[in-house]
């Protein structure tokens, strides 16, 4: 099972001692995506003093990167990275833009500010659990395809049905924990099927 990720892009903002902090959380495919996000953020906010970033990627969160962008070492990127790690997330980047307000916050103040606003953006982004899954695939006579598709949807599945002159192919991806139940349903519907594993499905966390 892979680590959860965020459900959507989200942002959060706070003002502390006249400094303004704007955080955005983004879903990423790899750490290579972070550079373009930083460039786009700089273009959007050319008057900002700092654009700090932190990211974690990989199915198990095995890759990470952070950047203080001119803030004292360890006061921006590291607490932002800790906010991601504390939520056990992966494939996510957080960027925090700071407009300096003229009052120095000190090392502790910066750590709290960057870590806190990064956490707020991540919480606003929601959470997707990622579950190990398998695909079930079966062939159907054309005359039965719509009936079987309707039965599968009524049972809460989201099948894909491909139609051809010789028949139809139904596919559905289910979490491995529910695989036996789904296979039993297909059998009850008279569908001979094959299962192949190694899939991942994402589900909005409650």
Express each pLDDT in 113-126 by its tens digit.
999 999 999 999 99
CA neighbor of 128 nearest in space, from 166, 92, 80: 92
Class (C level, CATH) for 129-204? alpha beta
Contact of 112 with 168, CB cutoff 8 Å: no
**Amino acid 1: pLDDT:** 63
Distances (CA, A) of 140 to 85, 145, 173: 46, 6, 17
Q: Has residue 19 got a pLDDT over 90?
A: yes
**Amino acid 206: pLDDT:** 62
**Amino acid 201: pLDDT:** 87
CA neighbor of 74 nearest in space, from 119, 31, 107: 107
Architecture of the CATH domain 10-126: 2-Layer Sandwich (3.30)
**Amino acid 152: pLDDT:** 95
> Which residue, chain included where needed, has tokens 């790899």?
30
**CA dihedral sign of residues 146, 147, 152, 154:** positive
The distance of Cα 118 from the centroid of its chain, to the nearest Å, equals 15
pLDDT tens digits for 32-74? 999 999 999 999 999 999 999 999 999 889 999 999 999 999 9
* Domain residue limits, the chain: 10-126, 129-204
């Amino acid at each position: 099972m892979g680590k959860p990720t965020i459900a959507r892009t989200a942002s959060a903002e706070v003002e502390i001692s006249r400094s303004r902090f704007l955080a955005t959380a983004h879903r990423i495919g790899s750490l290579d995506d972070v550079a373009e996000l930083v460039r786009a953020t700089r273009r959007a906010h050319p008057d900002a003093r700092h654009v700090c970033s932190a990211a974690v990627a990989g199915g198990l969160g095995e890759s990470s990167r952070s950047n203080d962008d001119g803030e004292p070492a360890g006061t921006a990127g590291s607490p932002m990275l800790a906010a991601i790690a504390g939520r056990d997330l992966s494939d996510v980047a957080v960027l925090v833009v700071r407009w300096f307000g003229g009052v120095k916050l000190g090392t502790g103040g910066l750590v709290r500010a960057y870590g806190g606003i990064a956490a707020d953006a991540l919480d606003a982004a929601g959470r997707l659990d990622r579950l190990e899954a398998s695909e079930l695939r079966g062939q159907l006579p054309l005359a039965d395809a719509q009936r079987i598709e309707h039965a599968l949807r009524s049972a809460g599945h989201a099948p894909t049905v491909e139609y051809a002159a010789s028949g139809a192919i139904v596919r559905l991806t289910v979490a491995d924990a529910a695989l036996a139940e789904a296979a039993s349903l297909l059998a009850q519907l008279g569908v001979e099927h094959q299962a192949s594993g190694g899939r991942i499905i994402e589900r909005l966390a409650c």
